[in-house]
Amino acid sequence: MTDLTPSLTPFLQAELSRAWVLAHHANRLLDRRVDLADQAMPGRVWGDGTPRFGHEAAAVGAVHAIRRRTDGSGDVFAASVRTLTACLSLGVSPAELFRQALGRAGSPDEGRAAPLHLHDLRRGVVGPIQPLGMVLEVMAGLTLGFRLQGGDRVAVAFAGEGAPSSGAWHEGLNLAAVRRCPLVVMIDVPNPVGADTGGGERGRSLEDLCEAYGVTGHRPSGTGPGAVFRSVQDAVDRARSGDGVQIVEYRPTDPDPIGSDERLGRWHREAVDRLDPPFEAALEEESIRERASRGRIFSDLEPESPWYRTVPHASAGHPGGHEGSMDHEPPTPGAAS
């Protein structure tokens, strides 16, 4: 196991904090938005919200450990439905996320895929893949392709907490391990290998998994984005330098993700309380220009914002790729979201 803990620069700490706040805020509002859309337009909303239980903290930390580009030349982040909002740190705008969720015109795929299956390799995002385990098959090939093309690109893959129970996940992991692909595999705690969907479990440890596949394991020292960032950064460095597949076992901030609706609701309310102070603090740190930009972003996020009622549903016709589908330019790579 490795857990390097270099000191983060104040700038990076602030960036991670802002990204996390934004992602978490987007998560909560994404769920609210879909709920409202369900009420306003019964039968016209595709899918539903997918609750996140602090996964965004780990995802934001992981995303900041990779090379972020908007021209298709950077590293790749494979999102699960619970970690998709980390693509806000890769240049995807909140408006794009919501348009995707609601099948609206101007979404990256013009309403073709499911609500959270946003995919944009120009910005390094492989959208959530279902069945879940398939993501590692695809990422094994993507990282094989990195090697074939030369260079030193790396991919970080979230698959979702049930994926390690699927054969596809293991086939992809095995292929990537055998070929020493530059792939970082993120798995949740509790490690769900040997678990069913009803709570039954005969869990295997990260150490068991790594020994079985001959790969390196990492365990962050905490649940926040900074701790995950440090651990994934080490994993990414090792993968980039030719050390093959790395597995990072992370823990969402909510220690018990499967619970009652009442408990879930309480958790969300508490999360709002927990988040607001750092959120406000982050805003205070912004310059006037950034404040204006952020104001636009958060006006998009508000459930009552004009675009919510005025942006039409996607129409027939082939999406024809992503070019021209964005309503504004993504932020500069490496900048705060």
Partner 1 sequence: MTGPDDLPDHVSRTRHREPATFLEAISEALWEEMERDGNVFLLGEDIGVYGGAFKVTRGFLDRFGVERVIDTPISEAGFTGAAAGAAHLGLRPVVEIQFMDFVAPAYDVITNYIATSMYRGAGPQPLVIRGPVGGGNRGGPFHSQNVEMAFFHTPGLKIVYPSTARDAKGLLKAAIRDDNPVIFEEHKGLYRAPALREVLPDDDYVIPLGKARTAREGTDVTIVTYGMMVHRSVEAAERLQKEQGLSIEVLDLRTLLPLDDDAIVDAVRRTGKLLVVHEDTRTGGIAGEISMRVNEQAFEWLDAPVLRVTAIDAPVPYAATLEDYFLPDVDDIARAALYLAKY
Which of 85, 143, 253, 337 is the binder for partner 1 (CB under 8 A)? Answer: 143
Which of 178, 272, 281, 292 is the binder for partner 1 (CB under 8 A)? Answer: 178
Q: Which stretch binds partner 1 (CB under 8 A): 11-19, 33-41, 138-146, 200-208?
A: 138-146
Q: Is there binding between residue 242 and partner 1 (CB under 8 A)?
A: no
Q: Is there binding between residue 290 and partner 1 (CB under 8 A)?
A: no
267/49 Cα distance (integer angstroms) = 16
Binders in 94-113 for partner 1, by CB under 8 A = 108-110, 112-113
Interaxial angle between packed helices 225-240 and 10-40, expressed in degrees from 0 to 180 and rounded to the nearest 10: 110
User: CB under 8 Å to 64, separation ≥6 — which residues?
Assistant: 12, 15, 16, 19, 89, 225, 229
Q: Which stretch binds partner 1 (CB under 8 A): 10-18, 128-136, 192-200, 238-246?
A: 128-136
CB of 148 to partner 1, least distance (A): 5
41/166 Cα distance (integer angstroms) = 36
Q: How far apart are the first and last CA of the chain?
A: 32
**Strands annotated E in 140-191:** 155-158, 183-188
Which of 20, 53, 77, 146 is the binder for partner 1 (CB under 8 A)? Answer: 146
63/22 Cα distance (integer angstroms) = 14
CB of 186 to partner 1, least distance (A): 17
Q: Which stretch binds partner 1 (CB under 8 A): 27-35, 130-138, 255-263, 269-277?
A: 130-138
Q: Which stretch binds partner 1 (CB under 8 A): 39-47, 142-150, 287-295, 304-312?
A: 142-150
Q: Is there binding between residue 165 and partner 1 (CB under 8 A)?
A: no
Q: Is there binding between residue 129 and partner 1 (CB under 8 A)?
A: yes
Length of the chain as a residue count: 337
Kind of pairing, strands 246-250 and 216-218? parallel
- Per-position x/- string for 304-323, each x denoting binding to partner 1 as judged by CB under 8 A, each - no binding: --------------xx-xx-
Annotate 129-138 with b (16+ C-beta within 10 A) or e (fewer): bbebbbbbbb
- Per DSSP, 162 falls in state T
Which of 13, 67, 165, 179 is the binder for partner 1 (CB under 8 A)? Answer: 179
Q: Which stretch binds partner 1 (CB under 8 A): 35-43, 131-139, 185-193, 244-252?
A: 131-139
